[in-house]
Structure 1
Amino acid sequence: MKTIIITGASSGIGRATAEVFLEAGWRVGLIARREDRLREITDVNAEATALPCDVTDATAMRAAFESFAAEAGRLDVLFNNAGIFGPAGPIDEVPLDGFEQVLDVNIRGMFIAAQLAFAQMRRQDPQGGRIINNGSISAHNPRPGSVCYTTSKHAITGMTRSLSLDGRAFDIACGQIDIGNAESELVADLKARQPDMHTMDVSHAARSVLHMAELPPEANVQFMTVMATKMPYIGRG
């Protein structure tokens, strides 16, 4: 049975992805802060394991990864998904602590998860695995007033490229999925301010992650963009 750890698994894209992988017969480790939300999944599926912790807590994250690997036998895929949008507005209206919180979750948290997954994949037998980073459309083009989130997601693109390069020697592939306007809690907050926003069902993003994860070791989706068809991405500035 293939195994995956999903961060940010309690809601939105993470939860939808967990449900799609469980339906496909995977063993799924669920990382998020809200244990009650994770139990809603584990209570109805024996192949789901709740690993409640904060992605910015390196000690708790290490314990979660080690526990899952010991229980499941190996780690085939990490979906590095947890993230927050943070404060919106022009840069001179953004509080510094708000910016730092976004970097803490969206960069440091994703770095911790990738570091732990890389180490596990490098030392397991047979060696190798796949890391899928959740980038976002904002890894390419920003929304207005999104300097915190956009800065963090551009950093994730650099992380993806570095992991792709450094993972070659250990049969560790890394790819990035850039998702636009999937119906999640984060997008719901944005849509409340922009009611005419075009969105898509979150299941389309989840199935795209499954496609990336199910590729054979010799193939990799380096970057995938999946988005609501009519969202203003092409040409937005």
Structure 2
Amino acid sequence: MSIAVVTGAGSGIGRGVALALSAAGWTVALAGRRAEPLEETARQAAGETSVVPTDITDPAAVVALFATVRDRFGRVDLLFNNAGSFAGGGTPVEDLAYETWRQVVDVNLTGSFLCAQAAFRTMKEQSPQGGRIINNGSISAHVPRPHSVAYTATKHAMTGLTKSLSLDGRPYRIACGQIDIGNAATEMTARMQTGILQANGETAVEPVMDAADVARTVVHMAGLPLEANVQFATVMATAMPYIGRG
């Protein structure tokens, strides 16, 4: 039995990946701030799940999440570090509130670090030793959109987190990769289909792709033996403005 922890599992990419992992035979611990959406994900899952409401910005809550999973299932084989915030998106740099900046950093960067740290500790100590961490980066880990300084900065930092975990995990059979997603059809990207600001100052409708295509990619990455790793994968709507953006 392989055990996965998925953060942000109550909606969007997180829910899609949790359901795809469940269908592929994984037992999935569903983490997120609110119990209700997590329970809806659990109702849709094909296999065994565990609902663990968690605020990933709270160090004690993250420790409790992984303790709960270990107590119930004995180990952690996979962390999909997915939870994220796009708060402040669309706000010019000079108008972005400090509180909004901190919120995005706390969720996207600090929360991801805390979950990765707890997963790393668990994977290092368990027997058989090892496991895999997959971080949800973004197209914005490579190139920004206008007025997205907080989100873009944290997603660039996610790439550094991925590389450091990959290096530090080598002695313990802990693999770490990153999936950079562009315009998957979720609640967060609904505005892409009505028009979004482009680098040249125009507003344009952008194509989106089915989030299930992202989920299938994560399942593939997760299913590799620990001797193999997808270090970075970019999955995006084919015709979105990424190549040539800006």
Tell me the TM-score normalised to structure 2 length: 0.93
1:53 is the counterpart of 2:62 = no
Aligned residues: CA RMSD: 1.2
Secondary structure, in 3 states, of the residue corresponding to 1:236?
A: coil
Q: Aligned partners of 2:192, 2:154: CA distance in 1, in Å?
A: 18
> For the Cα contact (< 8 Å) 2:194–2:205, is it kept in 1?
no
1:235 is the counterpart of 2:244 = yes
Provide structure 2 residue ranges, at least 5 long, that are not aligned to the other structure: 197-203
Equivalent position of 2:199 in the other structure: none
Give the drift of 1:192.
4.0
- Compared with structure 1, are the counterparts of its residues 189 and 61 closer, same or farther at alpha carbon in structure 2 (3 Å cutoff)? farther
Alignment of 1:1-237 (within 5 A): 1-43=1-43, 45=45, 47-87=48-88, 88-194=90-196, 196-237=205-246
One-letter amino acid matched to 1:83:
G
Moved more, 38-47 or 61-70: 38-47
Secondary structure, in 3 states, of the residue corresponding to 1:198?
A: coil
How many residue pairs are counted as aligned between the two chains? 237
One-letter amino acid matched to 1:198:
P
Percentage identity across paired residues of the two chains: 54
Tell me the TM-score normalised to structure 1 length: 0.97
One-letter amino acid matched to 1:117:
A
Q: Aligned partners of 2:13, 2:191: CA distance in 1, in Å?
A: 14
